[in-house]
Amino acid sequence: VQLVQSGAEVKKPGESLRISCKDSGHRFTSYWMNWVRQLPGKGLEWMGRIDPSDSYTNYSPSFQGHVTISADKSINTAYLQWNSLKASDTAIYYCARPEIATADLQHWGQGTLLTVSS
Amino acid sequence: EIVLTQSPDFQSVTPKEKVTITCRASQYIANSLHWYQQKPDQSPKLLIKYASQSFSGVPSRFSGSGSGTDFTLTINSLEAEDAATYYCHQSSSLPFTFGQGTKLEIK
């Protein structure tokens, strides 16, 4: 299993963005895909997750309404989207999922660095 | 939301020492507690899942214990490569949460 994320982004406040996470495995629709944020020099924050089989999502209240998690099961890819970026969104974003139908995060993407600056 | 509190925040240790990191949950979470290691400029790596389950690829010096609200990650005979930040993570109830992290420095 390999999770490959899209590359680093530099955006301005107010801009929109969608980053991606492609799952090279053969069971993309079997397990929840999670997104985790890491602010510069800080710890890990769970943002939310998606069931790629039906696109059902759970969000942390801290991120609900500010980001959208989606998935395209035809191409084994999950997405994290913002409609209006803020400088405080500057962080590394990771996708992660379990190996089997559990809730641990055994497989991680390499991370996508997002910089939001005017 | 379940709050996970790790202790200590930082520890400076010598090679071959035994290290214990604790994680306390603000509510009962059974054994739904996982441990990760993150080295600088790397993605986190799962070390222990469901409090005490190890798996292939993780050195045997790493072990986990606990249930309910109190959990422990133990590193036996610390090696220089274990310098990293360690996080606990609960998947008992939504929203899932992480501890604040424990940074291990090797003297």
* pLDDT one-digit tens code per residue, B7-56: 999 999 999 999 999 999 999 999 999 999 999 999 999 999 999 999 88
Question: Regarding predicted confidence, which is higher, A19 or A25?
Answer: A19
Mutation for testing the A interface, residue in B96, B100, B102 having most A CBs under 10 Å: B96
Closest chain A CA to residue B100: A43
CA separation for the pair B69, B3 (Å, rounded) = 10
CA separation for the pair B100, B38 (Å, rounded) = 12
pLDDT value at residue B81: 96
CB A67 within 8 A of CB A80: yes
The reply to whether A102 touches chain B by the CB within 8 Å rule is yes
The reply to whether A111 touches chain B by the CB within 8 Å rule is yes
* pLDDT one-digit tens code per residue, A34-77: 999 999 999 999 999 999 999 999 999 999 999 999 999 999 99
Supply the mean pLDDT for chain B. 97
pLDDT value at residue A1: 75
The reply to whether B54 touches chain A by the CB within 8 Å rule is no
pLDDT value at residue A25: 83
**What is the distance in angstroms between the Cα of B43 and the nearest Cα belonging to chain A?**
6
Helix ranges, B1-107 (H): none
